[in-house]
């Protein structure tokens, strides 16, 4: 699965949700969904704006983590 590490980059850049939402031009609610890893999709336009605002690369925000297998979940 893809993990969104937006909170990590925001902490590194010392920027809060309200300030980032203003710079990116998306609602605080939608940015919070991204930050809390609840998003099912991210528009490339949004990712681009976040990377510009945080002066980072997409790979600084997005991370691939292998899903747990069914057996592991049931244990």
Contacts of 37 (CB under 8 A, 6+ apart): 3, 4
- Could you read off the pLDDT of 15-60 as tens digits, one per residue? 999 999 999 999 999 999 999 999 999 999 999 999 999 999 999 9
Answer whether 53's CB lies under 8 Å from 18's CB: no
Q: Which CATH architecture has domain 2-69?
A: Orthogonal Bundle (1.10)
Give me the pLDDT at residue 33, please.
95
Q: CA-to-CA distance for 66 and 24, rounded, in angstroms?
A: 29
Q: In this model, does residue 68 exceed pLDDT 80?
A: no
Q: Tell me the pTM.
A: 0.84
75 pLDDT more than 90: no
Confidence of residue 67 (pLDDT cuts 50, 70, 90): confident
């Amino acid at each position: 699965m893809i993990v969104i590490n937006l909170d990590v980059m925001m902490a590194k850049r010392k920027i809060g949700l309200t300030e980032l939402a203003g710079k990116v031009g998306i609602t605080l609610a939608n940015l919070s969904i991204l930050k809390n890893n609840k998003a099912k999709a991210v528009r490339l336009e949004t990712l681009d704006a976040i990377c510009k605002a945080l002066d980072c690369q997409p790979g600084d925000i997005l991370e691939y983590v292998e899903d747990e297998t069914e057996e592991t979940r049931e244990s």
